[in-house]
Structure formats: structure tokens, C-alpha cells
Structure 1
Amino acid sequence: MADYRSKFLNVYSILKSELLEDPAFEWTDASRKWVDRMLDYNVPGGKLNRGLSVIDSYKFLKEGQELTENEIFLACALGWCIEWLQAYFLVLDDIMDNSHTRRGQPCWYRLPKVGMIAVNDGVLLRNHIPRILKKHFREKPYYVDLLDLFNEVEFQTASGQMIDLITTIEGEKDLSKYSLAIHRRIVQYKTAYYSFYLPVACALLMSGENLDNHIEVKNVLVEMGTYFQVQDDYLDCFGAPEKIGKIGTDIEDFKCSWLVVKALELANEEQKKTLFENYGKPDPANVAIVKALYNELNLEGVYLDYEEKVSKKLTATIEAQPSKAVQALLKSFLAKIYKRQK
């Protein structure tokens, strides 16, 4: 994988150079410098898991055949389209959430002289995706399917973000709006489609597959994405910061977390009152009260039960897949989720 990672990063440089010479725009030194810096700041940071998953998935679908240099390049290009999509979401998401930091550095819009220019930068990031697809995939029989796929997944993600935003409107902190059904819808649309389904769908199209024949694969991946987020919510509270690489703040941030919706479902009236009074407050004393209530309700045990059930269900669905290559691909995704908790 290390070898593919270096190739992947190399493809980023190629795509960036092409975009900075795009003939559809008359570039000036200032505009080229701006976009160059904006791309480097927002696109290649993070773990790159989504982008690298395209290469991984394509390798599984090729069932051990050696990939050609061209296949590696195309898989990397599609992977970068997903990373570009992620950058577009994050740049705008940070403005909406009034966030301060992203990936250990100030959010792009917080930088001097950037400010609300970041909104247009987000639009540019989104528009780079069809430029990349047009340049490298226009002659491919699956070109239109790729465009459709990215449009569809962007719509689903934006709709998930909308549910999230209207459920947690600033100044209207109301826990009674939170439920398992709302949590599931937010997670499914905001995260699962673009993080789990999109990389595999790109690889399937590259392999000459019709996505309509793989609805079950989509369902499994969306279910996995939901499980991934529930695990993330659990680790935010119960994970050791040195293991998960961050200090959880879901309680302080009034997040529609799986833990809080589960707590609301299980709590008696007195416990609900405690939650309503303490959830979403930045004071460590309030956070400690919420965590104590989570322990009282044995949410750790509730999560482990959920994990066991969902794990059995996913494994059974994967085993039922007719294609051994698809089975192996889905098992690798599931193994990565398990690994995070160990």
C-alpha cells in the first residue's frame, strides 16, 4: 500500500498542474498562485482513506491481476476526485459550523486575506471534479455513469448536511428533536454514501460493471458507513484520546450522537431531565454529569450489543454475495472498521 500511496500523491501533483493550466480560463500569476495554495492547503491533508480505497477496491475486483500503470493512474485520479469532493464539503462545512481548526491547522476561511473568499474556493473545488473527469475519462464507456455517480452522491451528502443543520439550529438547542431515526438519516446521507459507497462504485465502473446490478453492495456499504459513525460516536466518549488521536467533544458540541439518542431512548424522566440540563454545555462539570449518566445507563454494554448484532448481519450479507472478489473487497472494508477499535 505504501507504494500505491506514493503513486497516489504523485497523481495529485499531475492533476493540480493540469488544473492550473486549464485552457477554459485565462490565468494570471495571482490567480494561479491563489488556487495552487488553496489546493495544497485543503485537498491532500488528512488520511486520504477515501481516495486510496478506490485503488484498493479496484485491485480486489481484478482478483490478483497486476494493475497496469494506466489503470493505477485512472484509479488514483478517481480517488482524488473523491478527495476533492471531501475538501469542497469541509471548506464549506467549517464556515457553516463556525469551526476554528481542521486537521490540526486553522480552517481555510480563518486564514488572513481568505475569509469569505473560501465560499468561492469551495465552488471551485467542486468544479474541478468534472474537469478531471472530462480530461481523463471522456472516452471511457462509463464516463456518463461517473458524472451521474458524483452528482448523485453530492446531492445525498448535501441533503444529509441539511438535516444535520436544521436539527441543530444555533440558539435552538432542543434534545427532543434527536432520535435514532434522525441520527441514522444524518449519518447515512451525510457520511456513508460518499465515504463508503463512492470509492467502491468508482472501482466497479472502472471494472466495466453496471451499478444497477450491485444495489446490495451499495446497501451493505451504507450500513457499514452507519456502523462506522456509530463507532465514531462511541469512541468520542469512551475511546482513549491517545489511541483515537483526538479528544472527543460531542457532548460539549451538542452533537446528534448515537450515544445521546440511545440515552434518550433508555432514560427515565429524571435521567432525561439531567440530560436536558447538562448536554451541550462546555463546562467540564456538565460533561462529567452526562458521562456519569451514560455509565449509569450502561451505554458501553448497549454499544457492544449493537456492534455484535450489526457485525453478524453485515458478515452474513457479505457471505451471500455471488462474487468472491466483491466478498473480499467488502470484508476488507469491515476489517478496517474493526481495527479502529482495537
Structure 2
Amino acid sequence: MLPQKLIVICTRNFANHTCNGKLQSPLMKTVLSGYNSYFPKIIDQSLEKVSFVYTPAMRERIKKCSEYYTIGRNPVQGEFMVLAYEALNKDSMIDDEMIHKLQVIVTTVEMVQTYFFFWDDLEDKSMTRLGKPCWHLLEDTGLFAFTDACIMRSFINDIIRQNFHGEMCANILSVYDKVYFTSSVGQYMEAAISRSRNYNNYTMESYTKIGNLRSSFYSVKSPLLLGLALNNKLNKESYDVVDDVGLDIGVLVQCHNDLIDYFSEKGTLNIGKSGTDIQEGKFSWVATTFLENCNSEQKRIFAENYGSADPDKVKRIIELYEEVNVAQHYQLEQQKRFDIFNEKVSKLPKNATPSAEFFKSFQNLLHYYSQDTTNLMYDKH
């Protein structure tokens, strides 16, 4: 198991209260601590404004879809977004209207995660997620989950249009559109390599390229871009800064999730979703790391056993991972990704937006989640 290290975040105006070992500013506490209370209210208020959803049954289904994986989950991306917004908003007053807008973004960015869960669980034929049956396994769902996901995506955009206008609305929707596009392309490319069963294609170079699409933009870059959009500071220059600096630590999120899946299959961590990467032969960071550090005999055994649901074969793969100590390789991976991140930050010009100072604070928050496998960044997708 990795060291359970908590690193304190240092940003402006932090109060003396903590949340899971992290210091939070008054604004972050206001927006994040009330998440489970205001989320359903925003859903209800938004549904009331959608006139064509006129039957109580349809309204109830959309509400149930929106809340199923979202209520009770730690809104990590919302946390990243609020951190970015506050760091970029040092001179402006934050009134009730702005707090509401922040709550809307936290609500919708977490709904995007639920949207991806619907698709991912269908593709993986998963049984449980967050300690409950997967959405598509509910009695009245099945393949309707595809339609539910499409409705969810459109509803997210409608909530944004109800609460934002003009350039700010356009910029926020543009970020979400990029999330849908890049993540879907990355998901397809990962699946294509996985299904090929050509383990020569399991390279860290390919993993990084696909991870940037599948995970990096959504998990790290998009919350920062949303913070910029809310401050009317999203432009080509600020976009390029986030796109470049956020790449490797964004890929680290996917590495972390893949490691969690392995610990789940190994039986040393309960994440509320059974690990399935080994059974499905996934092009994961764990499998790629193994293949780049094994000998020819270990690779032969891997090829004979990977991608099978046979418990004995799954057990043999776990034994192979233990032989090369993938957990230790994760620590090296984390250090490498953060070294690249820090080098990019050090080269930022003094007037960069976001600034080097912001990225250093953001690094501490990412360390909190990526250092300890009990601090789950996201349930795997």
C-alpha cells in the first residue's frame, strides 16, 4: 500500500477548519459543504423550466438519473474548479449570485462524471458502482441507459443555458463540448488497443496520448478552464497554459485510477466498484508498466492469462504484478509526472494566467488525492 500522506493546501484566505485533512477557504467550504443539499434543488428548479418534459414520470426519471451516482460523491472536480476560480478572483467581491453560479458549475461538472459512468458501466458490463447496482441493471433501465445518458448530456447543457448568458455561457459550453469529444475519442482508442490483444501496442507513449484525451482534459484541465471562464479570463493564451501544464498530472489521474482497480481486484481496497481491468484485458497503466518491466517468461505467462474472467488466471496476473512491484512503480510514475509539471510551471512567464503561484497551490491538492489510494480522486471511468 502506498504511504498515506496528507499534504496541506496553501492558498489565500484559508480558514482554520479542515475537511478530510485539507484546509479550505470560507468560499470553498460554502460551495462544497452544501453540495448534497443544493444539488437536488438545482435539478428540481432546472426541470421546472423545461416545458416539454411535462409528465411527472419523465421528470422523476431525469431527476433519478441525475442523482443516482452524483449525490453522496466527493465533488473533486468541483473542488478543483472553486480553487481555480478563487485564485483568479483576488480583487472581486463574491456575492450570493456568484455563489449560485459556482454551485451550478459544481452540479453540472459532477453530472458529467455520472454521464460517463452510464456509458462506461454498459461497455464494461459492470455490476456495481459506488456500492450500489449499476444504473443499467435497475429493473426499469437495461439498454434505456443509452437514452438516459443522452438525456443527461442535453440536460447538463440546458442547466448551463438557464444560468449563464453571452460569452460566459458560450465558453462554459465549449469546455463541456471538448470534454465530451476528447473523452469519447480517448475511450474508443483505449478500447481499440485493448481488444486488439497486441501487447506490443501497450506502450507508455500511447498510454500518455490516450490518457490525455480520455482523462487529462476532463479530470484536470476542464475544472481549471471553467474557473477561467467564470472569471472572464478564458482566451487562447490561458487555454494554452492549462492545456500544456495540466497534461501530465491529468494523465496521472488515470494512472491512479488504474492502480486503484488493481488494488480492488487484489482485494486490498474496497472502492464500491469491483475491479475488472484484468478480466477485460484493459490497456491500463498497470498492464503497460508490467510489460515494460517484465522478462520474456513473465510476458509469455501474461499473454496466456490476461483478459480472462477465470479466477485462477486473474490470480496469476495479480501475482505477476506483485513480482514487478507495480505499486512501487506508481510512486516513480507520480514523481516523474510531477517533475515534468514543475518544470513547465517554472518556465511560465510572470504574467501567465493561471500563474505559477496558482499551479503550485493546485499541485498540493493533487498530491493529496494522488499520493494515497484511500483518497479516491474519482470512481474509475
Q: TM-score, normalised by structure 1?
A: 0.87
Structure 2 residue aligned with 1:229: 254
Query: Unmatched 5+ residue regions in structure 2?
Result: 1-27, 375-381
1:109/1:116 contact within 8 Å kept: yes
* Residue of 176, 186, 194 corresponding to 1:160: 186
Q: Match of 1:81?
A: 108
SS for the counterpart of 2:42 is: helix
Q: Is the 8 A contact 1:50 1:195 kept in 2?
A: yes
Q: 1:26 to 1:276 in 2, by over 3 A?
A: closer
Report the equivalent of 1:188: 212
* 2:224 equivalent in structure 1: 200
Separation in 1 of the partners of 2:321 and 2:91?
46
Name the counterpart of 1:49: 76
**Residue 326 of structure 1 corresponds to which residue in structure 2?**
358
CA distance in 2, matches of 1:97, 1:335: 29
Structure 1 residue aligned with 2:11:
none
Shift of 1:248: 4.7
Of the two structures, which has the highest relative contact order with CA contacts closer than 8 Å and spacing of 6 or more? 2
Distance 2:64 2:269 in 1: 32
* Counterpart for residue 283 of structure 2: 256
Match of 2:172 among 130, 146, 165: 146
Q: Say what the alpha-carbon RMSD is for the aligned residues.
A: 2.7
Report % sequence identity: 24
Q: Matches of residues 1-342 of structure 1 in structure 2 within 5 Å?
A: 1-63=28-90, 67-139=94-166, 141-169=167-195, 173-214=197-238, 215-237=240-262, 245=271, 248-321=275-348, 322=350, 323=355, 326-341=358-373
Summarize deviations over 1:214-258 as a string: whole Å, max 9, x none. 212222222111122223333444689666746654333322122
Q: Which moved more, 1:160-169 or 1:36-45?
A: 36-45
How far does the alpha carbon of each residue in 1:159-204 deviate from its partner, in whole angstroms, 9 at most, with x for none?
01111222233xx644344222332233221111111111110001
CA distance in 2, matches of 1:145, 1:242: 42
Query: In 2, are the aligned partners of 1:235 and 1:244 still within 8 Å (CA)?
Result: no
Unaligned stretches of 5+ residues in structure 1:
none
**Mapped contact 1:54–1:76 kept (Cα < 8 A):** no
Find the residue that maps to 1:142 and give its secondary structure: helix
- Equivalent position amino acid for 2:172 in 1: L
3-state secondary structure, aligned to 2:66: helix
d(CA) in 2 for partners of 1:47 and 1:265?
34
- The answer (yes or no) to whether the contact 2:281–2:306 under 8 Å persists in 1 is yes
- The separation in 2 between residues aligned to 1:40 and 1:231, in whole angstroms, is 25
- Residues 63 and 325 in structure 1, CA contact (< 8 A), matched pair in contact too: no
State how far apart, in whole Å, the 1-side matches of 2:297 and 2:57 are: 61
TM-score (norm 2): 0.79
Is this contact kept in 2: 1:75–1:203, CA < 8 A? no
Cα shift readout 1:43-89 (whole Å, capped 9, x = no counterpart): 33432211232222212222486632222211121122211211111
**d(CA) in 1 for partners of 2:339 and 2:206?**
24
More helix by proportion, 1 or 2? Answer: 1
Give the secondary structure class of the aligned counterpart of 1:53: helix
183-192 vs 226-235, which moves further: 226-235
The answer to whether the 8 A contact 1:50-1:79 is kept is yes
Q: Which amino acid aligns with 2:204?
A: L
Structure 1 residues 244 and 332: alpha-carbon distance in aligned structure 2, compared to 1, 3 A threshold: farther
> Which moved further from structure 2: 190-199 or 245-254?
245-254
Structure 1 CA distance for aligned equivalents of residues 67 and 262 of structure 2: 32
Asked whether the equivalents of residues 88 and 228 of structure 2 are also in contact (C-alpha less than 8 Å), the reply is yes
Distance 2:258 2:64 in 1: 33
When residues 7 and 314 of structure 1 are mapped into structure 2, their CA distance, relative to the original with a 3 A threshold, is same
State the distance in 2 between where 1:149 and 1:132 align: 15
User: C-alpha distance in 2, partners of 1:42/1:112?
Assistant: 17
Partner Cα separation in structure 2 for residue 183 and residue 34 of structure 1: 37
Instruction: State the distance in 1 between where 2:276 and 2:142 align.
Output: 25
Change (3 A) 1:165 1:242: closer
